[in-house]
Every structure is written in structure tokens, then in C-alpha cells.
């Protein structure tokens, strides 16, 4: 057996924050492309406005705090927060939705807690939750995905709608929007339709929401690449998907007519974006190897609970914030044993 | 010892119940959804605080130290009951809005705190001024937080003013931004926490500015004296 050896100099890979952030942004590309394909220009507007708002707010607050602006902006964390939030917002939302969300995320959830590395909550998800609590109406402005219903808005019409809140002539807002698959499925189940009937509707593809299957697949690919590049650890995504799988399989086996299958939940809403890009935020997540598994599993179970019995269309944001709260406790109880020391649990007699 | 000037400054600013002592947070956070709610609870707390301070100060030489706390609680509870009955008689709508938080004034730590820390050791006049300034300081915070949340949450101010000032005040409602969709978060409980945090931060900023200015003034004065 031969081990490949390399000769000196043994330089460590450059792994500073900027590089990590750029890698994560690159990994978002497949998912974002799918989003763009199925939901049109609004997705790009959301990403643009949210990034500008996030970076602008970060610069403003850094200046107020008399901290160096350039180096901190250069690390790309604010930009990534903006992009993650932008990718989660409905494509027909007016421009001030991503602007308010991203500004709130950076100003309150990140900078007020002390800036990068000190925030107990995931800033992008705080921004999302603020928006969905404050503006429930605007947060439902999802258009039907490409291929179900009518064509997507052309660039100019979409821009007029997003930035001027002017509808294209001859249409109403109701005609442009449609419930997301998660919402539609929940309403249909409330009307006693069975799951096989729900999947027949044009909003659904082969096993989950039309378009959403591909969007989640795109984020899955990007996420696996992140894992392969060692940017994220496997425990959190595996924990989250595992938790989601266990609880959804349990209910699906018990009653396949009124509960979605694990595959449906894997490829609906923000599951993959959440599992690989949001829950893995190194600052607000659990940090011990075993703790990461529990942390992820908690998110997975909570996502299912909120989706199935909660009042909001998707549960990823709430689940992540709730587990953020639990992360310090998880870390406390899952500290790995230091080699040569006793287990923390039985040190009573020492 | 403690001059009236210091008592007033303590109540309004240096030792403000809402911003510095952080007492009575439960009603402070719960009812400040609007200006009028804040004002209503502020007035009720103010009356309780003044009355309890005066009575406790009056009886301070009669009450043995071993039983002082139960006596204070009885005094405060009687006053709150009076106020509650008065409100349900004349401001029934407002009374319904403020609900459980009127009887809960009994448990507001600032009131028994002032009775124990101030009124039981000072003359009636000073206790009266202390109750008045502490109560007004608390009311100011309630009103400031209420206005902040009402303006950001609904874009208007003084809505439902008729609950307190009668039907003539219905027209008081001030719509600041037309066509404002409303920022629900500010009216919901998280808005109370965030708003109070911002108010405390604002107070700290002002304090620090004043301190810096004072330092500069003394430095200048010192240099003038040296010259």
C-alpha cells in the first residue's frame, strides 16, 4: 500500500473567512439558477436588493460603531446574509421587503450583538421571520412556477411590479400569484383530500412541488460540493435531513393519505437551502461533532412539526432560530471527553 | 441629605424606574402597544406610587420593622383596589383594554421598592416628591415606548384617545403616514423588547455625551484656573 506524499513546503490551504464565504456563494449558484428559471426576474431583484441593503447597513453600522469598514465588508458575511435572505423571499414581493429584511438582519441580529462571530441567531433567518410576522400578505406573493399556469412576467413588467408596485395592464395581483406547494398541500389536507389527489394538481411535479423539486435538487448539489470542499461538516445536514426523514416516515407509514412522504418534505420549501446553507452557519450553530447531529435533528423535526401543524407556510426559519437558542445547551452537554480525562458525567468522586 | 432637586433628577433620569432600575417590566412590555394604553397604565401607576409613598411615610414611625413588608403590601393593595374600582367606573373601555395589568400594579416592584427604600425613611414631603417624580419617570417611558411602537407599527398616533378623554378626543388620532401598511412586529411582543432596548441605549448615549461634555468643561475650567 502506498501513501501519496508531497514534498515541502507544506503550506496550509488558505481558509480565511472571505474564501469560505465566496465558496458558499458559488455553491448557491445551481439552486439560484433553478429558482430563476422557475420564478423569473423577481428572484434576481430580491437577491440584488437584499445584498445591497445588507452591505449598506453593515457599512453604516460599522461607521457608527467606529470600526474599520473596508476589512469587515471584505469578508463577505454581510453579502452572504443578503443573498441567503434574498433566495428565500417570494419573487413578486415589493422591493422594500428584501430591503427591510436585510437591514434588520444586519443591524439588529448581527451588529447589535457585536458583529461577525457574536450573533446568537442566524441573521438571515431573523430577517425572514421579521418579514413573515410583519408583512404576511407580501410574503405570500409567489408566482406559479414556470410550467404550471401562465408564463412568467417579462423583465420590464417584473421590474415595474417590484420597484413601482405597478401591475401590468389588465391583470390583478391575485392572477399573478399562487399558493406554494406546501401551502396548497396543507389547505387541501384540511379539505380532506388525500395525498394522491393533491399530487395530481398542476402545481405539483412528479413527487413534490413543480419547480421546487429542481430548486431543492440544485441546492443539494451545491451543498454536497460545499461538503466535499470541507466548508461545512456533514453532521448538521445529515442530522437535519435524518430528523426530517424519521418523523415524516413515521407519519407517512401510519397514514399515507394525509401526511406527505419524506421525499416530498426533502424537496419542498427551503429544506435543502436550510440543511446545507442556513443551518450550517458556523456562528450560530452547535459546534461539537455530536452536538451538530442533535442540532440538525432538532431542526429537521421542528421543520416537520411547523409545516404539518403550524400556521406558517414553511418552518425552516423558525426551526433554525429555535435551535439557535438551544445550541449553547447542546454544546454544553456534548463536550467531547478530553483524552486522558474522565467522562464529565462521573467526576463526582474525584 | 437628599435634596428635592436630587430626588426629582433621580426619578426622572439617573434612577429611572423603566430605563435604569428595569422594574415593572411586565406591564411596561405588555401594555405599551399604543400611546393611550401606555398613558393609562402610567397614570394608574403614578397615582399608586404617590399615594403609597405618602401613606407609608405617614405611618413609618408606627410600623414595627418586623412587620413592615406585609403592612406596605396591604397599603399598596388597598390603593390599587381603589384605583381599579375607579377606573372600572369611569374609564370602563380603557379598563377592559388594560385588563389584568391594573390589579397587577400591586406586584410592580418599583412601588414596594420605593416604599421600602425611600418612603419608610423620609419625611412626607420628600416621599411625595419621590413618588411623583418616580411615577412620572415611569410614565414617560411608558408613553415614549407606546408612541414608538404605535408610530412604527401602525403609522398613526393617539388612536383610541376616546378611551381616556371621552368621545370628543376621537378626532385626536393623528395619521402620520398615509397608506402605511403597518410594521406588525413593533406592535407584537418582540417590538416591546426591541423598543425598550433602543430606549435604554438612547439614554446611555445621552449620558455618555453629557459625561464627556462635563469632563471637557472641568478640564477647561482647570486650565483657566491654572493660568
Q: What is the DSSP string of chain B?
A: ---HHHHHHIIIIIT-IIIII--SHHHHHHHTTSHHHHHHHHHHHHHHHHHHHHHHHHTTTTS-GGGHHHHHHHHHHHHHHHHHHHHHHH-HHHHHHHGGGTGGGGG-HHHHHHIIIIITTS-HHHHHHHHHHHHHHHHHHHHHHHHHHHHHHHSEESTTTHHHH-GGGGGG-EE-STT----HHHHSHHHHHHHHHHHHHHHHHHHHHHHHHHHHHHHHHHHHHH-
Rounded CA gap, A214 and A205, in Å?
10
- Residue A348 has a pLDDT of 47
Q: Is B198 on the interface with A (CB under 8 A)?
A: no
pLDDT computed for residue A13 by the predictor: 63
Q: How far is A14 from A11, CA to CA, in rounded Å?
A: 9
Kindly list the residues from chain B whose CB atom is less than 8 angstroms away from the CB atom of residue A108.
194
A117: closest CA of chain B, how far (Å):
21
Q: Domains of chain A: which residue ranges?
A: 15-178, 180-334
Cβ-proximal residues to B77 (8 Å cutoff; 6+ apart), any chain: B106
Cβ atoms of A222 and A28 within 8 Å: the answer is yes
> What is the nearest CA distance from A133 to chain B, expressed in angstroms?
6
Band of the pLDDT at B94, cuts 50, 70, 90? confident
Kindly state the cell numbers that stand for A270: 427551503
Q: Do A134 and B184 touch (CB under 8 A)?
A: yes
Give the residue from B81, B92, B82 showing the smallest Cα distance to B164.
B92
Residues of B in contact with A138 (CB under 8 A): 181
Give the pLDDT confidence score for residue B141 in this predicted structure: 93
* Closest Cβ opposite residue B185 in set A134, A137, A138: A134
Q: Which pLDDT score, from 0 to 100, does residue A312 have? A: 84
Q: What percent of chain B clears pLDDT 90, i.e. is strictly above it?
A: 35
Q: How many CA atoms lie within 13 A of A275 on its CB side?
A: 33
- pLDDT category at B50 given cuts 50, 70, 90 is very high
Scan residues 98-157 of A and list those with Cβ closer than 8 Å to B: 108, 130, 133-138
Q: What's residue A345's pLDDT?
A: 54
- Is the pLDDT reported for residue B222 higher than 80? no
> Which residue is closest to A137 within chain B, CA to CA?
B181
Q: Is the pLDDT reported for residue B223 higher than 80?
A: no
pLDDT at A346: 52
Taking CA–CA distances from A133, the nearest residue in chain B reads B185
Q: Does B180 touch chain A (CB under 8 A)?
A: no
pLDDT computed for residue A98 by the predictor: 95
Give strand pairing partners of B157: B174
- Chain B contact for A50, CB < 8 A? no
pLDDT band, very low/low/confident/very high, at B11 (cuts 50, 70, 90)? confident
Instruction: Find which of B177, B181, B201, B208 to mutate to test the A interface (most A CBs within 10 Å of its CB).
Output: B181
Q: Which of A108, A136, A138 is closest, CB to CB, to B194?
A: A108
Task: Summarize pLDDT for B100-149 with one digit per residue, the tens.
Answer: 888 888 888 889 888 888 888 889 999 999 999 999 999 999 999 999 99
* Smallest Cα distance from B11 to chain A, Å: 28
In A, which residues are within 8 Å of B182 by CB distance? 134
Range B62-91 average pLDDT: 91
pTM for the full model?
A: 0.86
Q: Over the range A196-231, which residues count as b (16 or more CB within 10 Å of their CB) and which as e? A: eebbeeebbbeebbbbbbbbbbbbbbbbbbbbeeeb
Instruction: Say whether residue B185 is in contact with chain A using an 8 A CB cutoff.
Output: yes
| CB contact (8 A) between residue A135 and residue B194 | no
Secondary structure of chain A in the HEC alphabet?
CCCCCCCCCCCCCCCCHHHHHHHHHHHHHHHHHHHHHHHCHHHHHHHHHHHHHHHHHHHHHHHHCCCCHHHHHHCCHHHHHHHHHHHHCCCCCCCHHHHHHHHHHHHHHHHCCCCCCCCCCCHHHHHHHHHHHHCCCHHHCCCCCCCCCCCCCCHHHHHHHHHHCCCCCCCCHHHHCCCCHHHHHHHHHHCCCCHHHHCCCCCECCCCECCHHHHHHHHHHHHHHHHHCCCCCCHHHHHHHHHHHHHHHHHHHHCCCCCCCHHHHHCCCCHHHHHHHHCCCCCCCCCCHHHHHHHHHHHHHHHHHHHHHCCCCCCHHHHHHHHHHHHHHHHHHCCCCCCCCCCHHHCCCC
Of the candidates B110, B184, B86, the residue with the CA atom closest to the CA atom of residue A137: B184
Burial class (CB in 10 A: 0-12, 13-18, 19+), A48: middle
What separation in angstroms does the CA of B189 have from each of A129, A199, A242, B38, B213?
Answer: 14, 39, 34, 14, 37
pLDDT value at position A344? 55
Report residues of chain A scoring pLDDT below 70. Answer: 1, 6, 12-15, 148-150, 342-350
Q: How far apart are CA A344 and CA A326, in angstroms?
A: 20
pLDDT in tens, B170-208: 777 777 777 777 788 888 888 999 999 999 999 999 999
| A135/chain B closest Cα distance in angstroms | 7
**What local confidence, expressed as pLDDT, does residue A242 receive?**
96
CA dist A198 and B123 (Å) reads 77
Contact: A134, B194; criterion CB under 8 Å? no
* pLDDT value for A350: 44
Smallest CA–CA distance from B189 into chain A, residue: A133
Q: Of chain A residues 242-271, which have a CB less than 8 A from chain B?
A: none
Q: Which residue in chain B is spatially nearest to A127 when comparing CA positions?
A: B185
Amino acid at each position: 500500500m502506498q501513501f501519496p506524499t508531497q514534498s515541502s513546503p507544506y503550506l496550509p490551504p488558505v481558509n480565511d473567512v472571505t474564501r469560505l464565504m465566496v465558496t458558499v456563494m458559488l455553491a448557491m449558484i445551481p439552486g439560484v439558477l433553478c429558482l430563476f428559471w422557475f420564478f423569473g426576474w423577481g428572484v434576481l431583484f430580491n437577491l440584488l436588493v437584499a445584498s445591497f441593503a445588507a452591505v449598506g447597513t453593515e457599512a453604516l453600522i460599522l461607521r457608527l460603531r467606529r470600526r474599520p469598514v473596508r476589512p469587515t465588508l471584505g469578508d463577505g458575511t454581510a453579502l452572504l446574509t443578503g443573498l441567503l435572505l434574498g433566495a428565500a423571499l417570494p419573487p413578486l414581493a415589493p422591493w422594500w421587503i428584501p430591503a427591510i429584511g436585510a437591514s434588520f438582519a444586519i443591524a439588529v441580529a448581527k451588529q447589535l450583538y457585536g458583529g461577525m462571530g457574536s450573533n446568537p441567531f442566524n441573521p438571515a433567518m431573523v430577517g425572514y421571520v421579521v418579514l413573515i410576522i410583519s408583512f404576511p400578505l407580501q410574503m405570500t406573493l409567489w408566482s406559479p412556477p414556470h410550467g404550471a399556469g401562465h408564463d412568467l412576467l417579462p423583465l420590464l413588467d417584473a421590474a415595474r411590479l417590484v420597484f413601482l408596485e405597478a401591475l401590468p395592464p389588465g391583470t390583478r395581483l391575485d392572477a399573478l400569484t399562487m399558493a406554494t406547494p406546501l401551502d396548497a398541500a396543507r389547505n387541501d389536507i384540511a379539505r380532506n383530500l388525500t395525498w394522491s389527489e393533491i399530487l395530481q394538481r398542476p402545481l405539483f411535479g412528479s413527487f413534490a412541488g413543480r419547480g421546487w423539486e429542481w430548486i431543492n435538487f440544485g441546492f443539494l448539489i451545491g451543498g454536497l460540493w460545499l461538503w466535499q470542499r470541507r466548508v461545512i461538516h456533514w453532521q448538521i445536514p445529515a442530522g437535519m435531513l435524518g430528523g426530517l426523514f424519521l418523523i415524516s416516515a413515521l407519519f407517512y407509514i401510519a397514514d399515507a393519505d394525509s401526511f406527505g412522504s419524506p421525499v416530498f418534505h426533502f424537496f419542498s420549501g427551503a429544506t435543502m437551502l436550510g440543511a446545507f446553507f442556513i443551518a450550517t452557519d458556523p456562528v450560530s450553530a452547535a459546534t461539537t461533532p455530536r452536538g451538530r447531529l442533535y442540532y440538525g435533528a432538532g431542526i429537521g423535526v421542528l421543520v416537520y412539526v411547523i409545516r404539518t401543524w403550524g400556521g406558517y407556510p414553511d418552518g425552516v426559519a423558525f426551526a433554525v432560530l429555535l435551535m439557535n437558542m438551544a445550541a449553547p445547551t447542546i454544546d454544553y452537554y456534548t463536550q467531547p471527553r478530553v483524552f486522558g480525562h474522565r467522562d464529565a458525567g462521573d467526576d463526582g468522586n474525584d | 441629605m437628599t435634596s428635592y432637586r436630587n430626588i426629582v433628577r433621580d426619578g426622572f433620569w439617573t434612577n429611572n424606574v423603566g430605563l435604569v432600575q428595569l422594574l415593572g417590566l411586565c406591564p411596561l412590555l405588555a401594555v405599551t402597544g399604543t400611546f393611550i394604553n401606555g398613558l393609562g397604565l402610567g397614570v394608574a401607576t403614578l397615582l399608586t406610587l404617590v399615594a403609597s409613598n405618602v401613606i407609608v411615610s405617614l405611618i413609618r414611625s408606627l410600623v414595627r420593622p418586623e412587620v413592615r413588608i406585609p403592612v406596605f403590601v396591604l397599603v399598596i393593595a388597598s390603593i390599587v383596589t381603589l384605583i381599579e374600582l375607579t377606573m372600572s367606573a369611569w374609564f370602563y373601555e380603557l379598563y377592559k383594554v388594560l385588563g389584568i395589568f391594573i390589579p397587577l400594579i400591586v406586584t410592580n416592584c418599583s412601588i414596594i421598592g420605593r416604599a421600602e427604600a425611600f418612603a419608610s425613611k423620609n419625611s412626607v414631603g420628600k416621599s411625595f416628591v419621590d413618588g411623583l417624580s418616580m411615577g412620572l419617570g415611569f410614565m414617560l417611558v411608558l408613553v415614549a415606548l407606546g408612541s414608538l411602537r404605535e408610530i412604527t407599527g401602525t403609522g398613526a398616533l393617539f388612536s383610541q384617545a376616546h378611551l381616556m378623554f371621552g368621545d370628543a378626543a376621537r378626532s385626536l388620532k393623528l395619521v402620520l403616514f398615509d397608506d402605511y401598511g403597518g410594521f406588525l412586529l413593533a406592535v407584537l411582543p418582540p417590538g416591546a423588547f426591541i423598543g425598550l432596548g433602543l430606549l435604554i441605549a438612547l439614554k446611555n448615549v445621552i449620558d455618555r455625551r453629557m459625561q464627556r461634555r462635563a469632563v471637557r468643561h472641568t478640564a477647561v475650567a482647570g486650565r483657566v484656573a491654572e493660568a
